[in-house]
Amino acid sequence: MAPDRGLEEAITSLDLGTQHGDPTTGRMAATEMIPPHLSHDPATNAKRSDPFQFGQRFLSEDDDIFAYNAWDHVVPDTTHYEYCETQYAAQRASPVSDFDRARFNEHPEKWWDLFYKQKSSTFFKDRKWLVQEFPVLNEVTRQGAGRKVILEIGAGAGNTAFPILRMNENPDLKLLAVDFSKKAVETMRNAKDYADSKGVIEAEVWDVAGESLPPGVDEGSVDIVIMIFIFSALNPKQWQQALVNIQRALKPGGEVLFRDYGRGDLAQVRFKAGRWMEDNFYVRGDGTRVYFFEKEQLETIWGSAFDICNLDVDRRLIVNRQRRIKMYRCWIQGRFRKKECTE
């Protein structure tokens, strides 16, 4: 599974001074009140009732954009869109070579093996935000929920699976964490959380774009499929087979919890020469692939076989206050439900 490395790079470059303060000094007097819509303090910013509302730090015309490290729901301005189109044109003009295109597409799993081999387990950060974004995970892990099966596709080092296991109170939960990288599965199996949850979690090597279901998964047996930054790692030619497999695995009414990269994200705009494979599809310097989606595109892809419960764009403006640089992030998050009747 693809960790969100673009975000890590962006945050690393930030001026991580005082979170709330005067735009010139970076500081705020202790007695000065922070407006509730700018505060991340739960005492002043009530937890949102709609998980797809995302953050609540809104940028208004009167705000100093460089007063804070990040703003939510900021639509890029015309200048930024023009810059993006210039970047895309330059990327298309200098695509990946035919030789590299073939080798990156032929055995993509080996590049992910190298990626996980080079990173220690401490490199990966747990996705503690997942339950807030997808409350259904609270429902299937509560005591008394009964037999529930979660299938996480592109499980990587276990940074989604393990937080779910730590909060689990359902003795009848089964969590199958799969990845097509053997090294990723090995990393999961060697983790203490994996040993502590023996009998609840199983980690297996499986390619979502293959022709079979994961080991131990019967057709129509899965309640929840989790896909976090995994669909983007597939070649567009593999999407259809992936959807077929997911639909086969899910029970009628079962759900897909989805989050991935949106077109125009900082990570896309930053790509240099020799990385463009086709529109919105790139290869990183480490050989792993990534696609950047449009919301309408995902509506078409998933809407053919699933009911779309939610599908929204999560935009964030991250600023480097010291260098006065604006960086736009864009993700797309969705919940897709397998139709009760496929007639």
* pLDDT at position 206 over 60: yes
Task: Provide the pLDDT confidence category of residue 166 given band limits of 50, 70 and 90.
Answer: very high
Residues 6+ away with beta carbon under 8 Å from 42? none
Dist. CA 26–CA 78, nearest whole Å: 29
Of 224, 200, 261, nearest to 1 by C-alpha is 261
What pLDDT sits at residue 1? 54
Domains of the chain: 75-338 (3.40.50.150)
Dist. CA 151–CA 222, nearest whole Å: 7
pLDDT tens, residue by residue, 293-319: 999 999 999 998 999 999 999 888 877
* pLDDT at position 327 over 60: yes
Considering only residues 13 and 289, tell me which one the structure prediction assigns the higher pLDDT.
289
Task: Provide the pLDDT confidence category of residue 77 given band limits of 50, 70 and 90.
Answer: confident
End-to-end C-alpha distance for the chain, whole angstroms: 33
Mean pLDDT of 51-58: 52
What does the mean pLDDT of the chain come to? 82
Of 71, 92, 201, nearest to 141 by C-alpha is 201
Mean pLDDT of 288-292: 97
Of 189, 142, 135, 182, nearest to 161 by C-alpha is 189
